[in-house]
Structure 1
Amino acid sequence: MSAQPVNPNLPPDHVTVFIDGVELAAPKGAMIIQVADKAGIPIPRFCYHEKLPIAANCRMCLVDTEIGGRPAPKPSPACATPVMDGMRVFTRNEKALKAQRNVMEFLLINHPLDCPICDQGGECELQDLSLGYGRSVSRFVERKRVVPDEDLGPLVATEMTRCIQCTRCVRFTAEIAGTYELGGMQRGENLQIGTYDGQPLMTELSGNVIDVCPVGALTNKVYRFKARPWELIARPSLGYHDALGSNLFHHVRRGELLRSVPRDNEAVNECWLSDRDRYAHEGLYAEDRATVPLIRDGDGFREASWDEALARVADILKAHAGDALGVLVHPATSNEEGALLARLAEGLGSGNLDHRIGQLDLSDGAHADAFGMPVAEIEHADAIVIVGSNIRHEVPLLHQRIRKAVKRGAKVHVVNPVDFDFTFAITGKHIVPPSRIAATLAQLEIGEAARSAVIVGAVAENGPYAAAIRKAAAEFAAAKNAKLCRIPQGANALGLSRQGVLPRGLDAQAMLRAPRQAYLLYGIEPGLDFADQPAALKALGAARVVALSHFACASTRAVAEVILPIGLLPEIDATLTNLDGLEQQAVAAARLPGQARPGWKVLRALGGLLALKGFEFTDLDGLRAEMTARPVHVAGNGAAPAAEATAAHGLELAVSPAIYRVDAVIRRATALQLHPLNAGPHATLNPADASALGLMEGAMARFATAAGSATLPVKVDARVAQGCVWIESGHGATAPLLASARLEVAAV
């Protein structure tokens, strides 16, 4: 072969390759299959996946190659053969097709003939390719092998007899999730894929093994046997349980949402989906879903018509307009609904409007802001500082991006009250009580880094020292020339901030500490969604409350006078703004339950009844045409969140969101509630503190604050900073403690 390039006009890092007679320019080192895919030339494959390391173990992608006029002695795997200048590749000649058909025959030797009952039927890669490359009659007459199934937990179902050992699932858990939970056991014909210890999958991204599996070996346990793919309609939507806004499709049959699958978007979630977004749809069909308007009648409720219920709500709001009214909004509410809520509050003369219901310290007037470094660029960062966040549970796919950065050589530093589990190496680890996070951050050294990011999460943002930590993070980022990335506390907290769902009067905490005469609750579960639960229930219990709600739960019924049923995101057309500041639209997928209506329609009707300006539009397009982002400025209230914050007695409290208890929908998703990561309410202490208090693992202890107390089982773990108690929010049992900075602990 000549040393001269075939095409001297190409850049020096490119070569010329001919695939099925088509001349292509390709980067040096690229694999044949990558070049062919880019050119739209099909090559069959099972083990190859563009996001996974190359394994080259299925051999389905065998092709014929020729270099310098000399044919290769045997077919080459296209996924593991780099292109060379002047190389000729034949994907469809007799030699290549014979090799591919022989591989297919071997793959089908032990595969069961259960396509009619296989839940993967209709979307199975093996089924599709066997049509083109398989024989009509098998020459194999011996008995097929059988592989016992494993119980991988409540999310992923197994039929391992179907497994063709492509190892996609193994490579996913190892390289993407970083948990190394699946592997190959035994050898040769006896090779099996499994967990070895028989334990359920613990990664928060486990559902992705369903997507990468090319056969029916790993399937969706929640969706299994409910429908065939040709019965489903795919509707583009968004994840709404963290601020990333993962792109996904909801698959619907006759209005019922049966499953959710990822929708590719390299800038947001790539091709992955967290389990929280994948299985949340179960929560839509909870028994306490609000389906009809309800009006309080004595100690209970009676069903009412929309006209009667709206009239009652309008009367309440008119009677308590101005400063007597407080409007509290869930931070996952859409931009359209948020814009109308801002107009409603303004029209009623109330500046008491806020969506920051889960944040204790609003003394600095902080609100959500877009990431200084886009999520897609974080994987290219040189240094990353994580402040006050269990980021693996808070935003699972942001954690995965950081893992990719570490694999590229990034250094990660952590300042946390708990040594949370990450799937990457930590360069600098500082485990300190919440009160010392700001001071520790001010003294942190990260060395020289061209591209660095500071990521501030929920433990910091929602705690009693949030303002000090935010200030320290901003100063640190400015001093180190780093990009500040504060995770918005709610799926659409950034969008709601831009739409003006922020106070011009009292903020969320102030309007609960100084109770209003009436409240409008939007999308909130009062018993679990507030940062200061005792104060919230006390204030709401003494006021007239109207609730536009997705669920008619016990806590809503306890405080509301009127409950208006509204649709959740999978049931409505809506726009959310993710943590990068990217506005993304979701399309209505599932049918609204009963008499429930899209929230924007309910607000439009309410604004019309009250004769307010800004409610003259007739459809969603009309509303969107009128929407503009408002200047965001919120004055801090200057008040410390808790008088006991500086007290020296007791242990400090560190609170992180429980991964599968973050909102009302997730809390009602049955499969997620059965997952081992949903550990239930408990309190975790450092061994030194537990010993000093005479507490042992599994003991029951009473945790008391000025606002309330709770009796919880104790766990002892050296990962918790000494002088701290770590609990998770989202549980009724821990709710009385969340607003406190410190608490007293005593054995029961």
Structure 2
Amino acid sequence: MAKLTIDHIPVTVTDGTSILEAAKSVGIWIPHFCYHPALGKAGACRVCAVKLLDGPVKGIQMSCMLPAADGMVVSTTDEEAVAMRRQVIEWLMINHPHDCPVCDEGGECLLQDYTIAGGHSIRRYTGSKRTHRNQELGPHIEHEMNRCIQCYRCARFYQEFAGGDDFGVMGSAARVYFGRFSDGPLASPFSGNLVDICPTGVFTDKTARFRARYWDYDMAPSICPHCSLGCNTMPVARYRELLKIVSRRNDQVNGWFICDRGRFGADGVNAPNRPRTPLVDGRQASWDEAIDDLLLRINEVQELHGPDSIALLGSPRMTLEGNLLLAQLASLLGATLCYHIGSTEQTQAVAATQLVSGERAASMNDVGQADCIVIAGCDLLDAGPMMALAVRQAWRRGAKVFLVNAPTSRLPFEYACAGLFDEIPFATAKQPVVIGTASDSDRLQPLLESAQGIKVAMLLPGPNSFATALLAQEHGTLPLEEAIAGGSIKGIISFEPETPDRLPTDIQLLAVADWRPSPAVSRAGIFLPITPWVEMDGTFINNEGRAQRFRQVMRPGLPIKGLDPAGHPPRLHGNEAPGSLPRPTAEIIAGIFAQIAGEPAIQPLSGRWQFAADLDPEGDGVRVVQP
């Protein structure tokens, strides 16, 4: 441990901690551009200058480059250090276009903050500014090279951290240029992180360009729904429109970054064809009419064919709360409860959750610290891109990576191919991890039983697949296809499902609750519009069994810009926003339960699930203890 003094405050930190991080640990913020916790030090921007008054090193030093040591006395407010930081900012601003009014980074720009904090307010330089030609980098990222301050964060992330090879730094001295050899979309599936990591406005989100400033944003901690990894995000909205999604730090899950699918894959939330109105036999209806008609049809089917002739279908896309309430509703109705479509899907999902029980589950942080990684039969960049990024960090630290019956293209790390698990040197590894999908559960079970100390990460189909697998075991549910094959099912009520394309002709009732347009929506007798994850609170359990809460970002309703060609809301006063009829799935199920039973359903996050109700949405999440 190193003991030092920073601005008269005694500080004790672990060996190797930089002065910049040591100062941050006691609430002292030293300006910096090039340093980033995920990328480490570079010493490129020179704006983190401090003065060492005593100790093994003295004088002006760069706080990000110098490890803390015993006896150091550091001043961040010394006149000489302050003057250097102010002068560095002035150098950086010499060629900067100073276009804050039209820059999307305005309000969340470190250069803007440090320029003001450093006292630089008047440009003394009167010469010509250096200018660059911007590049077309695809549909998602806007490039404005003239704003660059040469901190090298973008190149360090893209090439070193993410393994991309179509973007980097070119030129020298005042002609340094960060971009591609020619225009074209960035190839890395993590390219969108350039937007978050750039401390100025060189890279901004083109999909949200000129839509709002930082102080206009509606934001809340959320969880990505596009795969089972449960990456932490911060969706940004304004005027009932989802503008963009940015990454949110969680060191146990995604670290600092997210993939481009999670960042740019939410177009359907604002889509004009998103269904927002209850439908009964294809015509628009009120909520009361739709629910009353649904209950009437359920009663008719059950009177003719018995209570178990109705199947209630949950989904790995639905929140934990919704799936728990669905089990209560099935018990009340005496209906058949399903959480999966096919028998194989359910069997594999249950087996996968059993494989990661106890201490065997590997988080993405565990994968990043592993020294031997085996990827078995899965395409990481398809099933969970951020897992591939975690593997790359382990490989950069010296881990050996092996592929067993897995696709070999596009992976951002070096690997060796193996035909059998017997070829893998598990015996010499200290922290081995095996990564597979649910379909590989049978092959991985013997390996995990025969070898000790191996952790496993299983990639599942949906953001809440782990929860539906647990509930399927707990309630002894049947897959929908198996229930239908028995011939007793005459009505299906599905919530956020992947409903089969073909259903028996004798199905008399099909009701669907979803927020995405699909063939099931168009052929449903009753359709109930629900909110996507950004319009409600909820809980997802990720692939390792980590329960995480997310919060509502925006209220349901049509984006103002999509209301009419003129871009103006209706000139009629009302209590509800246009298009605000969708409701959270859990609220719909609870409402149906209360209407049938005459009393509210049991709070879903109670009993063994009480811990989920107390989760901090901005925390690391809590691992589920399987019964």
TM normalised by structure 2 equals 0.86
Q: Are residues 583 and 557 of structure 1, via their aligned partners in 2, closer, same or farther at CA, if it must alter by over 3 Å?
A: closer
Q: Distance in 1 between matches of 2:542 and 2:57?
A: 54
> Is the CA contact 2:107–2:214 (under 8 Å) kept in the aligned structure 1?
yes
Point out the more displaced range, 202-211 or 501-510: 501-510
- Which runs of structure 2 are paired with 1:163-182 in the superposition (5 Å)? 163-182=148-167
Shift of 1:571: 0.9
Shift of 1:350: 3.2
Q: Are residues 80 and 293 of structure 1, via their aligned partners in 2, closer, same or farther at CA, if it must alter by over 3 Å?
A: same
Shift of 1:48: 0.9
- Which runs of structure 2 are paired with 1:675-694 in the superposition (5 Å)? none
Q: Are residues 546 and 135 of structure 1, via their aligned partners in 2, closer, same or farther at CA, if it must alter by over 3 Å?
A: same
> Is the CA contact 2:318–2:585 (under 8 Å) kept in the aligned structure 1?
no
Q: Distance in 1 between matches of 2:181 and 2:119?
A: 33
* Correspondence for 1:489 among 427, 445, 461: 461
The aligned residue for residue 237 of structure 1 is: 222
The aligned residue for residue 530 of structure 2 is: 566
Shift of 1:164: 0.9
Shift of 1:58: 0.8
Q: Are residues 157 and 358 of structure 1, via their aligned partners in 2, closer, same or farther at CA, if it must alter by over 3 Å?
A: farther
Q: Distance in 2 between matches of 1:450 and 1:181?
A: 35
Q: Distance in 1 between matches of 2:154 and 2:102?
A: 23
Q: Distance in 2 between matches of 1:133 and 1:416?
A: 56
Q: What is the CA deviation profile of residues 162-204 of structure 1, one whole-angstrom value per residue up to 9, with x for unaligned ones?
A: 1111111111112321214332111111111112243321222
Read off the aligned partner of 1:34 and give its amino acid letter: E
Q: What is the CA deviation profile of residues 640-664 of structure 1, one whole-angstrom value per residue up to 9, with x for unaligned ones?
A: xxxxxxxxxxxxxxxxxxxxxxxxx
The aligned residue for residue 571 of structure 2 is: none
Q: Distance in 2 between matches of 1:485 and 1:239?
A: 18
Q: Distance in 2 between matches of 1:366 and 1:86?
A: 56
Shift of 1:354: 2.1
The aligned residue for residue 621 of structure 2 is: none
Residue 624 of structure 1 aligns to a residue whose secondary structure is: coil
Q: Distance in 1 between matches of 2:316 and 2:494?
A: 12
Q: Distance in 2 between matches of 1:415 and 1:513?
A: 36
Shift of 1:503: 6.7
Residue 366 of structure 1 aligns to a residue whose secondary structure is: helix
Q: Are residues 68 and 552 of structure 1, via their aligned partners in 2, closer, same or farther at CA, if it must alter by over 3 Å?
A: closer
Read off the aligned partner of 2:324 and give its amino acid letter: A
Point out the more displaced range, 516-525 or 183-192: 516-525
* Correspondence for 2:39 among 49, 52, 59: 52
Shift of 1:544: 3.0
> Is the CA contact 1:149–1:160 (under 8 Å) kept in the aligned structure 2?
yes
The aligned residue for residue 269 of structure 1 is: 254
The aligned residue for residue 447 of structure 2 is: 476
The aligned residue for residue 596 of structure 2 is: 610
1:293 aligns with 2:278: yes
Q: Distance in 2 between matches of 1:255 and 1:232?
A: 11
The aligned residue for residue 563 of structure 2 is: none
Shift of 1:365: 6.0
Q: What is the CA deviation profile of residues 196-233 of structure 1, one whole-angstrom value per residue up to 9, with x for unaligned ones?
A: 24332122222211111111110011111101111112
The aligned residue for residue 296 of structure 2 is: 315
Q: Are residues 105 and 443 of structure 1, via their aligned partners in 2, closer, same or farther at CA, if it must alter by over 3 Å?
A: closer
The aligned residue for residue 587 of structure 1 is: 551
Q: What is the CA deviation profile of residues 374-430 of structure 1, one whole-angstrom value per residue up to 9, with x for unaligned ones?
A: 312222222221112111232222222222222222222212253232111213344
1:115 aligns with 2:100: yes
1:38 aligns with 2:25: yes
> Is the CA contact 1:311–1:609 (under 8 Å) kept in the aligned structure 2?
no
Q: Aligned pair count?
A: 578
Read off the aligned partner of 1:596 and give its amino acid letter: P
> Is the CA contact 1:313–1:546 (under 8 Å) kept in the aligned structure 2?
no
Q: Are residues 235 and 363 of structure 1, via their aligned partners in 2, closer, same or farther at CA, if it must alter by over 3 Å?
A: closer
Q: Are residues 603 and 23 of structure 1, via their aligned partners in 2, closer, same or farther at CA, if it must alter by over 3 Å?
A: closer
- Which runs of structure 2 are paired with 1:354-393 in the superposition (5 Å)? 354-355=339-340, 360=345, 362=347, 366=351, 368-369=353-354, 370=356, 372-375=360-363, 376-393=365-382
1:539 aligns with 2:503: yes
* Correspondence for 2:513 among 532, 540, 549: 549
Shift of 1:492: 0.3
* Correspondence for 2:390 among 385, 394, 401: 401
> Is the CA contact 2:556–2:582 (under 8 Å) kept in the aligned structure 1?
yes
TM normalised by structure 1 equals 0.72
- Which runs of structure 2 are paired with 1:141-220 in the superposition (5 Å)? 141-220=126-205
Point out the more displaced range, 596-605 or 419-428: 419-428
Point out the more displaced range, 107-116 or 311-320: 311-320
Point out the more displaced range, 31-40 or 511-520: 511-520
Shift of 1:30: 2.7
Q: Are residues 553 and 540 of structure 1, via their aligned partners in 2, closer, same or farther at CA, if it must alter by over 3 Å?
A: farther
Q: Distance in 1 between matches of 2:15 and 2:317?
A: 46
Q: Distance in 2 between matches of 1:23 and 1:155?
A: 46
The aligned residue for residue 10 of structure 2 is: 23
Read off the aligned partner of 2:78 and give its amino acid letter: N
Read off the aligned partner of 1:608 and give its amino acid letter: A
- Which runs of structure 2 are paired with 1:438-477 in the superposition (5 Å)? 440-441=420-421, 446-457=426-437, 461=438, 466=439, 469-477=440-448
Q: Distance in 2 between matches of 1:365 and 1:273?
A: 27
Read off the aligned partner of 2:401 and give its amino acid letter: V
Q: Distance in 1 between matches of 2:432 and 2:583?
A: 45
Q: Distance in 2 between matches of 1:570 and 1:378?
A: 29
* Correspondence for 1:519 among 492, 516, 522: 492
Structure 1 unaligned segments of length 5 or more: list them: 1-13, 431-439, 527-535, 630-748
Q: Distance in 2 between matches of 1:287 and 1:525?
A: 21
Q: Are residues 70 and 243 of structure 1, via their aligned partners in 2, closer, same or farther at CA, if it must alter by over 3 Å?
A: closer
Q: Distance in 2 between matches of 1:38 and 1:591?
A: 37
> Is the CA contact 1:20–1:89 (under 8 Å) kept in the aligned structure 2?
yes
Q: Are residues 623 and 505 of structure 1, via their aligned partners in 2, closer, same or farther at CA, if it must alter by over 3 Å?
A: closer
Q: Distance in 1 between matches of 2:55 and 2:406?
A: 63
Q: Are residues 288 and 540 of structure 1, via their aligned partners in 2, closer, same or farther at CA, if it must alter by over 3 Å?
A: farther
Shift of 1:265: 1.6
> Is the CA contact 2:328–2:601 (under 8 Å) kept in the aligned structure 1?
no
Point out the more displaced range, 365-374 or 556-565: 365-374
* Aligned-residue RMSD, C-alpha: 2.6
Read off the aligned partner of 1:455 and give its amino acid letter: I
Q: Distance in 1 between matches of 2:595 and 2:39?
A: 56
Q: What is the CA deviation profile of residues 440-466 of structure 1, one whole-angstrom value per residue up to 9, with x for unaligned ones?
A: 446755442222222212xxx3xxxx4
Shift of 1:99: 1.0
* Correspondence for 1:63 among 23, 47, 50: 50
Runs of 4+ in 1 over 6 A off after TM superposition: none
Shift of 1:161: 0.8
Identity fraction in percent: 30
> Is the CA contact 1:368–1:488 (under 8 Å) kept in the aligned structure 2?
no
If each structure's helix is expressed as a fraction of its own residues, which one has the higher value?
A: 2
Q: Are residues 180 and 65 of structure 1, via their aligned partners in 2, closer, same or farther at CA, if it must alter by over 3 Å?
A: farther
Q: Distance in 1 between matches of 2:340 and 2:94?
A: 59
> Is the CA contact 2:104–2:209 (under 8 Å) kept in the aligned structure 1?
yes
Q: What is the CA deviation profile of residues 244-283 of structure 1, one whole-angstrom value per residue up to 9, with x for unaligned ones?
A: 2122222232433222222222112222122222223321
Point out the more displaced range, 27-36 or 561-570: 27-36
Q: Distance in 2 between matches of 1:46 and 1:317?
A: 62
Q: Distance in 2 between matches of 1:185 and 1:107?
A: 19
Read off the aligned partner of 1:204 and give its amino acid letter: P
Residue 590 of structure 2 aligns to a residue whose secondary structure is: helix
Read off the aligned partner of 1:336 and give its amino acid letter: E
The aligned residue for residue 101 of structure 1 is: 86
Shift of 1:149: 0.9
